[in-house]
């Protein structure tokens, strides 16, 4: 798998970019040249310069520092939200695919209902009734994005539960719990891994959109979305407030998509054209 993955230059680019982004987010206090929430009225809306490489915003805060700290927020939301969605999706998909019958009918019809509801509007409705903080946003995104994982896991379980090694495990008296978590689930996680990697990019986009609309991460906490929102109000005189956080979102989402595609091709080379 690694030999196939490293031959894919775009996937390697995505992996290296993700690694760098995670490092920048983890060590944000050391990489950021200024305090991201420090107001400086003497340097309001300054263009990129030696002192402020990406310029300043309407309160004189350093844009580079805010983007670096915003990376920590965006990646944290992506990882935690996808972790929640993967946990729910794996659990429900495993139950549905392994037991079948009315378990499968009830769970899959619930998945169909959830898929009929526009996810972003469901998130907007949930946030409107709750206090918009980072933990609520993580939970809401995770609780509204597990359906794809559930379907993937169910399909894998339906395929694997009739294999010879599962029949052998039943013959020697293995419990359903052991069969599910010890024998079937490890063999069903390959497509889930790809879905999780791609899901991080989707969660980052959703968080940025919510913050841009003013119902996500609230100022003065730095988020790529609320930096873009401030840039919208000053786009005619401060182009850097829109361009640089937009590029950060673009590069991050592109890197995760390339990484996910590379993992998919490495896991199953038959998918490559």
Quote the CA–CA distance of 109 and 104 in Å, as a whole number: 8
Domain locations in the chain as residue ranges: 2-30+78-271
Q: What class has domain 2-30+78-271?
A: mainly alpha
- For residues 100-107, give the mean pLDDT: 90
Quote the CA–CA distance of 96 and 102 in Å, as a whole number: 9
The b/e string for 30-55 (b: 16+ C-beta within 10 A; e otherwise) is: eebebebeeeeeebeebeeeeebebb
Contact status, residue 92 vs residue 150, Cβ threshold 8 Å:
yes
Look at residue 16 in the predicted model and tell me its pLDDT: 94
| Chain segment 241-262, per-residue pLDDT in tens | 889 999 999 999 999 999 988 8
Contact status, residue 215 vs residue 98, Cβ threshold 8 Å:
no
- What percent of the chain has a predicted confidence (pLDDT) above 70? 98
Residues 6+ apart with CB under 8 A from 138: 76, 77, 80, 81, 84
Quote the CA–CA distance of 155 and 4 in Å, as a whole number: 25
- For residues 15-28, give the mean pLDDT: 92
DSSP run (H or E) holding 192: helix 190-213
Q: Using DSSP, state whether 272 is helix, strand or coil.
A: coil
- For residues 118-138, give the mean pLDDT: 81
Look at residue 264 in the predicted model and tell me its pLDDT: 85
Two tokens, residue 10? 């775009």
- For residues 39-68, give the mean pLDDT: 89
- What percent of the chain has a predicted confidence (pLDDT) above 90? 32
Quote the CA–CA distance of 74 and 214 in Å, as a whole number: 15
Q: Is the pLDDT of residue 270 over 60?
A: no
Q: Is the pLDDT of residue 273 over 50?
A: no
Q: How confident is the model at residue 82 (pLDDT cuts 50, 70, 90)?
A: very high
Look at residue 149 in the predicted model and tell me its pLDDT: 92
List the single range of 103-107, 218-222, 242-246 with lowest mean pLDDT. 218-222
| Chain segment 153-210, per-residue pLDDT in tens | 999 998 888 888 888 988 988 888 888 888 888 888 888 888 899 899 999 998 888 8
The residue among 203, 219, 76 whose CA lies nearest residue 146 is: 203
Contact status, residue 153 vs residue 95, Cβ threshold 8 Å:
no
- Averaged pLDDT score across all residues of the chain: 88
Q: Which residue has the tokens 């993992």?
A: 263
Look at residue 272 in the predicted model and tell me its pLDDT: 52
Quote the CA–CA distance of 236 and 63 in Å, as a whole number: 17
Q: How confident is the model at residue 265 (pLDDT cuts 50, 70, 90)?
A: confident
């Amino acid at each position: 798998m690694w030999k196939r993955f490293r031959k894919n230059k775009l996937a390697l680019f995505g992996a290296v970019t993700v690694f760098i982004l995670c490092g920048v987010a983890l060590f944000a206090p050391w990489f950021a040249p200024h305090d991201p929430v420090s107001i400086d009225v003497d340097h309001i809306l300054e263009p990129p310069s030696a002192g402020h490489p990406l310029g300043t915003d309407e309160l004189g805060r350093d844009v580079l520092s805010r983007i670096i700290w915003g990376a920590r927020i965006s990646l944290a939301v992506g990882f935690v939200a996808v972790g929640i969605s993967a946990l729910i999706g794996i659990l429900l998909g495993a139950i549905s695919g392994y037991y079948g019958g009315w378990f499968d009918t009830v769970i899959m019809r619930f998945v169909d209902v959830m898929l009929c509801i526009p996810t972003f509007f469901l998130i907007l409705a949930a946030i409107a009734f709750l206090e918009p903080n980072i933990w609520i946003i993580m939970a809401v995104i995770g609780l509204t994005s597990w359906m794809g994982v559930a379907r993937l896991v169910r399909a894998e379980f339906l395929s694997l539960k009739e294999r010879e090694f599962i029949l052998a495990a039943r013959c020697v008296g293995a419990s359903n719990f052991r069969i599910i978590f010890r024998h079937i689930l490890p063999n069903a996680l390959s497509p889930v891994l790809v879905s999780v990697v791609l899901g991080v990019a989707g969660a980052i986009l959703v968080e940025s959109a919510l913050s841009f609309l003013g119902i996500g991460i609230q100022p003065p906490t730095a988020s790529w979305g609320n930096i873009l929102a401030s840039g919208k109000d000053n786009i005619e005189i401060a182009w850097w407030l829109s361009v640089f956080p937009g590029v950060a979102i673009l590069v991050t989402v592109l890197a995760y998509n390339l990484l996910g595609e590379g993992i998919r091709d490495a896991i199953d080379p038959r998918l490559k054209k």
